[in-house]
Amino acid sequence: SWISFWAPGGDFKEYPANTGMKIKAGAQFILQSHFHVRSGAQKSASMKVALSLAPTGSKTSELKTLLIAAPIELACTASEKGPLCTRDAALADLAKRSSTKASLQENTLLYICGKDPRNPVASNTSECTSTLSSATNIYGATGHMHQLGRTINITYLNKTTGASTILSTRDLWDFDNQKTDWQSKPIQASQGDQIKVTCTYDVSLRSKLPEFRDLSPNYVVWGEGTRDEMCLAIVNYTN
């Protein structure tokens, strides 16, 4: 389980009262950092990580992290042309820039989210639904996309009543304002209830954003690079 995460605008990740991530003595941490420096810019960066620990003996519920990722299939616009505008070429480029495993992730997400990896369909909307395997208390949710995102919604569905609750929504995606939306009171979800993430994108933003100034257009799939995209719901919960 993720101990914590940060994205622009996230500030310090302060968990709800009487909750926290469980860390065992001797545990090791893996810290993954993403930096993007445009061509010609000063190539320097710094960061600091700090932990706030609960007092010994305090009654703290163990907070956990559920990740719900949706596949990305974004075609080049009609006005864009280039060698990476085909899906196969874009996947080969992703493997070269990162790893073969990364290039296989998109097809895995298509399968997990109920779509056919053998017949991917380009769309400006990405979505995936996850069914809860046990009773869960939902405390909060964070949505994450990259620079081509327009909207993101994370929704909880109660299968018994059919009622839906918005856990997090951004009607106008702002990459620099990725804050966690905490519930005023935890949602008591039951086994079989569902959480859905839905993202929309605007590929034409590539022609307007400086991040893409030195990049050729490409068919976009799930990936960690600037030219790639994500549609991710990060849900904090307790059992």
pLDDT band (50, 70, 90) for residue 223: very high
Interatomic CA distance for residues 95 and 102, integer angstroms: 6
The pLDDT assigned to 185 comes to: 96
The pLDDT assigned to 80 comes to: 96
SS3 11: coil
Task: Give the residue among 137, 141, 140, 167 at the shortest CA–CA distance from 61.
Answer: 137
**HEC profile of 140-204:** EEEEECCCCEEEEEEEEECCCCCCEEEEEEECCCCCCCCCCEEEEEEEEECCCCEEEEEEEECHH
Q: pLDDT digits over 43-100, tens only?
A: 777 778 888 888 888 899 999 999 999 999 999 999 999 999 999 999 999 999 999 9
CA–CA distance from 175 to each of 133, 145, 200 (Å)? 31, 7, 14
pTM: 0.93
In contact, 4 and 53? CB cutoff 8 Å: no
Q: pLDDT digits over 156-215, tens only?
A: 999 999 999 999 999 999 999 999 999 999 999 999 999 999 999 999 999 999 889 889
Q: Which residue has the higher pLDDT, 189 or 14?
A: 189
CB within 8 A of 142, min separation 6: which ones?
Answer: 5, 7, 10, 168, 178, 179, 180, 181, 233, 234
pLDDT band (50, 70, 90) for residue 35: confident
Interatomic CA distance for residues 224 and 210, integer angstroms: 18
Does 128 have pLDDT greater than 80?
yes
Task: Give the residue among 147, 148, 146, 142 at the shortest CA–CA distance from 170.
Answer: 142
Quick one: tokens of 222? 């799930």
Interatomic CA distance for residues 126 and 113, integer angstroms: 10
